[in-house]
Structure 1
Amino acid sequence: MFSDADAAELYDLQYPWDVARYPGDAFYHDLVMKAEAVLDVGCGTGGMLRHARECGHPGRLVGLDPDPAALERARRRADVEWVAGVAAEAAWDREFDLATMAGNAFQCLVGDDELRASLTAIRAALRNGGGFAFETRHPQARAWDDWNPSNASRVEYATGRTLSVAHHVESVVGDVVTFTETVSDSDGAVLRVDRTSLRFLDVPALGAFLSEAGFAVEAQYGDWRRGPVTGASRSIVTVARRN
């Protein structure tokens, strides 16, 4: 009824990469354009790297993601390397100046073993002094409180079709939140239900995992304009370096 390819198309409609509209996109774009070789972990449909190439990035751009349908959309641009897989299984050796995990993709690393293996592989992929930039939702903001059907969003296609996307939290166990995302047609018919778990780490926990993996935190921000992390911050934006 609603294929993986349909879901990838919907994602692009919900979250278009636009550096003029979204400060987070502009933040990453600035870093990418200054790096010679970039690895985007959890690249999804590839918006960040495709836009960088469109803007004239002359170096190596590699996107890594486990979702075949998302990569199929990403591969519409053939002058970027698109690789199927997950960070923990990556085997690059000091080939990149910058690694990124945009769109809160870092939170998909739920278990300690998966997180440690992923950070180890990302560090190995970076040249000495290479940067790793990512963001996570700050747990103090309790973003999941808004993930309920009453806050469903409507997505309109150019054809006039309208879909509803709603979330429902199933559990909050420690720092892991599990929820469903339901896509429905305009008549209320359910087309697809996906279940996801995300991990919400605070600043000390993030720092501990990064340090253990051989990273040094260069900067941490509470917003996309590089403001400090405060008691009101909704995000933790981190730039770390390979020691």
Structure 2
Amino acid sequence: MLSDAGAAELYDLLNPWDAGLYPADAFYDGLVMTAGAVLDVGCGTGGMLHHARERGHPGRLVGMDPDRAALARARRRTDIEWVEGVAAEAAWDREFDLVTMVSHAFQCLVGDDELRASLTAIRAALRDGGLFAFETRHPRARAWEDWNPANASEVVDASGRTLRIAHRVESVRGDVVTFTTTTSGPDGAVLRVDRSTLRFLDVPALRTFLAEAGLAVEAQYGDWRRGPVTGDSREIVTLARRA
């Protein structure tokens, strides 16, 4: 079996933070490096904040996540604050210039009540005029249609094993998609099965939830080069300010 700690290590192998390779990482790096105090909600193993500190970010960096194993890896750096919890539990009051939710973490906010409570807490954590930056997959792109075993990926772990990671969609109900991620060993034996549920909100719905929370949309992009959102966009990248 693959432990929670092993899964967190595997996540870093599959998703290294690299602004030179990934336009999304470069986009967020630009925002983080110009902000005095940053809160990353759903920080996972902390790759973005680790990179910012390594690049010389001099201000306050805080990462928040409910996954203890991921936070254990994040805490390899002790010059960053790490907090266990979910967005709705954030209790900061006007302490950050920038709040981020990267790597589609925003889509983990599934229910309306959870989403509203999370946005209220995020707004409270921002200073006046502070920026909330996040991205969601554009529902029109129907990304989940590619989440099937035929598109499985492979990665070599720290012990030299070649692991296979495959997704399978269980259900699509309205704008909510539930799927499993199966990790298998070199012999095909199943090591771990994780179930995830994500919400795919469109532009009008995102704007409505943000406005209700007192967050004014400053810009929305359909790609990481700040192009417009179109029917062909795969992403909805949103920048919203505390009103």
TM-score of the aligned structures, taking structure 2 as reference length:
0.99
2: CA distance, partners of 1:125 / 1:159: 41
**1:40: how far off?**
0.1
**1:157: how far off?**
2.6
Equivalences for residues 110-121 of structure 1 within 5 A: 110-121=110-121
- SS of the equivalent of 2:27 reads helix
Equivalences for residues 1-243 of structure 1 within 5 A: 1-243=1-243
Q: Which amino acid aligns with 1:230?
A: T
**1:186: how far off?**
1.0
1: CA distance, partners of 2:234 / 2:90: 30
Q: Which amino acid aligns with 1:217?
A: V
- SS of the equivalent of 1:120 reads helix
Q: Which amino acid aligns with 1:18?
A: D
2: CA distance, partners of 1:161 / 1:186: 7
Q: Which amino acid aligns with 2:85?
A: G
**1:158: how far off?**
4.8
Q: Which amino acid aligns with 1:80?
A: I
TM-score of the aligned structures, taking structure 1 as reference length:
0.99
1: CA distance, partners of 2:191 / 2:200: 29
**1:202: how far off?**
0.3
2: CA distance, partners of 1:199 / 1:225: 24
Unpaired stretches in structure 1, ≥5 consecutive residues? none
1: CA distance, partners of 2:176 / 2:196: 10
1: CA distance, partners of 2:44 / 2:53: 16
1:11-32 per-position Cα deviation (integer Å, ceiling 9, x unaligned): 0000000010000000000000
Q: Which amino acid aligns with 2:117?
A: A
1:22-64 per-position Cα deviation (integer Å, ceiling 9, x unaligned): 0000000000000000000000000000000000000000000
1:73-115 per-position Cα deviation (integer Å, ceiling 9, x unaligned): 0000000000000010110000000000000000000000000
Q: Which amino acid aligns with 2:63?
A: G
Identity of aligned residues (%): 79
- SS of the equivalent of 1:100 reads strand
**1:159: how far off?**
3.9
Unpaired stretches in structure 2, ≥5 consecutive residues? none
How many residue pairs match? The answer is 243
- SS of the equivalent of 2:107 reads helix
- Which deviates the most, 158-167 or 113-122? 158-167
1:149-205 per-position Cα deviation (integer Å, ceiling 9, x unaligned): 111100113542110000010000010000000000011000000111000000000
Return structure 1 stretches of 4+ with deviation > 6 angstroms: none
1:117-136 per-position Cα deviation (integer Å, ceiling 9, x unaligned): 00000000000000000000
